[in-house]
Structure 1
Amino acid sequence: MYSKDQASAIKQEFWTAFGQYMALQLSAEGLRINWVNYKTGIKYLNFKLEAGQRSASIMIEISHPDLAIQELIFEQFKELRNILHAELNEVWNWELHVPDAYGKTVTRIVKQLDEVSIFKKEDWPTLISFLKPRLVALDEFWNDAQYSFELFK
């Protein structure tokens, strides 16, 4: 078991390594971007990457405090579901109004990889291979789809 400081240091090391690896990848628009802290330009709408002791996930998270607006944004994604799944080349889980790690109600479109750990360096290539193509595909999707969400800015 790791101390809180050790766990934090390992996580920071992984995300720094992932960020450096992704720095070579240009966005769909051909620009350099911060992949780890991807900006959608829409408040309360984020692309999140998580890696923990037992799993990793990548998600589109809608965290607007007004649950009705969360649902409206979710419905807009549903309109684009076929395009999203085609870009991702897989189906993700769609979760309306679920609690996040802090008990706050959010809405997510998520893909999870089980049986990996950020605390095992031998799992890092698997984590990167899981996260990178999905994040790049989300960027490709968002490059076109973002205009459908302008009213939520």
Structure 2
Amino acid sequence: MYSKDQASQLKQAFWTAFGQYMGPVLSAEGLRTNWINYKTGVKHIYFRTQADNKMASVAIEIAHPDAELQELFFEQFATYKTMLHNTLGEEWQWQLHGKDEYGKIVSRIYTELSPVSIFQQEDWPKLISFFKPRIIALDEFWNDVKVSFEA
């Protein structure tokens, strides 16, 4: 078991290492990108990469405070479901109106990897191999469909 401070340092070390690893990778538009804190450019739509002591996940998170508008965004993503899955090379899970770790209602399109732990450095290559192709594919997908979500 790790102290809060040790756990925080390990998490920070992983995300720093991942950021350095992804640093040279350009976006689908050929631009430098902050892959860890990816900006979709559309309010209430986020790309999340998360890891803890049991699993890791990559998600499109729709966090609009209005549940009906959140559902509309979710349905809009559903119209691109085949394109998304083709770009990712795999099918993801779709969850309308779930709760995040803070109890807030969010909708998610996501995939998970387990068992892995961000606290085990020997799992870091697995985590990087999980995150890298998926966040790059999300960027490629988003580059093609973002304009339809901006309206």
**Which TM-score applies when normalising by structure 1?**
0.98
4+ residue runs of structure 1 moved beyond 6 angstroms? none
Q: What residue ranges of structure 1 are gaps of 5+ in the alignment? A: none
1:70 lines up with 2:89 in the alignment: no
Q: Give how far 1:148 is off.
A: 1.1
Residue correspondence of structure 1 range 1-153 to structure 2 within 5 A: 1-151=1-151
What amino acid does structure 1 have at the position aligned with 2:41? Answer: G
Q: Give the secondary structure class of the aligned counterpart of 2:20.
A: helix
* CA distances 1:72-117 after superposition (whole Å, capped 9, x unpaired): 0000000000100000000000000001111111000000001000
In structure 1, how many angstroms separate the alpha carbons of the residues matched to 2:26 and 2:41? 18
Q: Give how far 1:150 is off.
A: 1.2
**Identity, % of aligned pairs?**
62
Q: Give how far 1:27 is off.
A: 0.4
In structure 1, how many angstroms separate the alpha carbons of the residues matched to 2:38 and 2:67? 23
**Which TM-score applies when normalising by structure 2?**
0.99
In structure 2, how many angstroms separate the alpha carbons of the residues matched to 1:70 and 1:4? 34
Q: Give the secondary structure class of the aligned counterpart of 2:17.
A: helix
In structure 2, how many angstroms separate the alpha carbons of the residues matched to 1:122 and 1:75? 39
Aligned length: 151
Q: What residue ranges of structure 2 are gaps of 5+ in the alignment? A: none
